[in-house]
Amino acid sequence: MSTQQSEHHSRIEELRVYLRDQGYNATVRRHYLPIARRFLTYLDDHNRSIENALPADLDGFLRRERRVYRKRNGRAPSRILEWRRHHASPPRLLLRLVHGRWPRELPPVTQREVFHREVLEGYDWWMGELRGLATVTREEHIARARELLDALGERSDPELLENLGVRDIDAYIAHRIEGLRRKSIKTLTASLRVFLRHLHGSGRTALDLSLSVTSPVLYAYEGIPSALRSEDVVNVLALTRQDRTNAGRRDYAILMLLATYGLRAGEITTLRLDDIDWRKDVLHVRHPSAIPNTRCPTSVLTACSIKFGSRSSIKHPARRSIKPIASSVRPSSNAPASELTVPPSNAATTRRRSTHENSSCSALHCACIGSLLWVVITRSRKTSFSQSETRCILYR
């Protein structure tokens, strides 16, 4: 084995040990090691060693890997960003093991680069000694500060940085946030505010430009949809019903309770077999102490929907329906949006006339064999199922 091959073997073995010690799974290890080995071969082909590798060498390796992929498959990668990330991560990790950090810092050449290093070193000391930020946080802030200084170009010279204005920051942010999501934009702008505050406090800039940088507002659980479509609920129920194991049956029962009654997660977890009255077809739902327990008819576990009528004495008969139902049986308005569900849409009932005389009500078309239920809305906005006896209380 030549000296070069022995060195490659030691580097790959070092990477293998690191991946194992850090808890990477076997699939990731099988993916990282061959790519890292090909990267070392690429450096040898260009008469370079990993000790003096540059970011341009990594870009050249990715270009060659892309040419090989195109030649082998007859096309470019369909997801180029994901493909580039998967092929760039192993060489970057190997370079970090060798250099300690990547990209490694090169000695400054020009006067501007010397000034930038001086500013960033002072910024790092300020964050560590005066603010007590962690090393990882400081590295992220320094990387974004370096990007800003490089993007400013001549405006980042010692003579011109003092006159830095809002227009310069606006132009940089408008270019930098292209293609970023709101969460990434907020992280970027927050980091810029810290750096701009440091520049003003250290006398580098005449104005405190951090006051002009705003971030988008992020709300808790904003990624969760406000409501689910009826077809989505039907698809979830159909997929869950295919699982015939005990866990699959349990999941299907939980989803049916969510989709039919609009119960909260806590109300479902507190259900017991004693809460089901098989003789009267009633399900007892336990609530917190401030809310009385409710009784729900088990016959509603088939598809149902609420159709609100006018406040008049018009009688609304139940009709046979097979179209998807879009309205939802909602829990309390205080419940989070993730718990608002839509009933299934396989409704079908026998045609019967209603005999209810309350003028402030709306018909509930229940897809089951049983009595027709009505929904009564009182002045306090409390909604209840009305029949010979109270069957279920819902809060709207």
Residue range 264-291: mean pLDDT, rounded = 82
Q: What is the pLDDT of residue 66?
A: 94
pLDDT above 90 for 3: no
pLDDT above 90 for 257: no
Report the percentage of the chain scoring pLDDT > 70.
74
The Cα-based distances of 91 to 26, 47, 125, 132, 378 in angstroms read 18, 17, 30, 32, 68
The structural domains of the chain, with segments of one domain joined by +, span 3-99, 111-212, 230-395
Looking up tokens 């800003």, which residue turns up?
A: 148
d(C-alpha 284, C-alpha 296), whole Å:
6
Which of 71-75, 153-157, 324-328, 353-357 is the least confident region? Answer: 324-328
Helix, strand and coil in the chain, % to nearest 5: 50, 10, 40
Nearest to 42 by CA among 60, 54, 56, 16: 60
Looking up tokens 């010692």, which residue turns up?
A: 158
pLDDT band at 299 (very low <50, low <70, confident <90, very high): low
Instruction: Tell me what the pLDDT averaged over the chain comes to.
Output: 76
Which of 54-58, 116-120, 314-318 is the least confident region? Answer: 314-318
Nearest to 230 by CA among 338, 331, 348, 324: 324
pLDDT above 60 for 343: no
DSSP string, 161-200: HTT--HHHHHHHHHHHTTT--HHHHHHHHHHHHHHHHHHH
pLDDT in tens, 300-330: 554 333 333 333 333 333 333 333 323 333 3
The residues near 341 (Cβ < 8 Å, ≥ 6 apart) are 228, 233, 258, 259, 262, 328, 329
d(C-alpha 268, C-alpha 265), whole Å:
5
Query: Are 346 and 367 in contact, with CB atoms under 8 Å apart?
Result: yes
Check residues 369 and 360 and name the one with the higher pLDDT.
Answer: 360
Integer-rounded Cα Rg, in Å, for the chain is 32
d(C-alpha 21, C-alpha 393), whole Å:
56
Helix (H) or strand (E) holding 374: strand 374-377
pLDDT in tens, 127-150: 999 889 998 899 899 999 999 999
DSSP string, 295-320: EEEGGGGS-EEEE---SSS----B--
Phi/psi for 207 (5° steps) reads -110, 150
Check residues 265 and 368 and name the one with the higher pLDDT.
Answer: 265
Helix (H) or strand (E) holding 119: helix 111-125
pLDDT in tens, 25-48: 999 989 999 999 999 999 999 998
* 8-state DSSP, 254: H
Query: Are 377 and 383 in contact, with CB atoms under 8 Å apart?
Result: yes
The pTM assigned to this predicted structure is 0.48
Report the percentage of the chain scoring pLDDT > 90.
38
Residue range 194-202: mean pLDDT, rounded = 95
Q: How many CB atoms lie within 10 A of CB 209?
A: 21
pLDDT in tens, 149-174: 999 999 999 889 999 999 999 999 99
Residue range 268-277: mean pLDDT, rounded = 85
The residues near 280 (Cβ < 8 Å, ≥ 6 apart) are none
pLDDT band at 198 (very low <50, low <70, confident <90, very high): very high
Q: What is the pLDDT of residue 102?
A: 80
In this structure, the strands spanning 374-377 and 361-366 are antiparallel
pLDDT above 60 for 276: yes
Check residues 250 and 313 and name the one with the higher pLDDT.
Answer: 250
Residue range 349-360: mean pLDDT, rounded = 39
Q: What is the pLDDT of residue 156?
A: 92
pLDDT above 90 for 350: no
pLDDT in tens, 83-96: 998 999 999 999 99
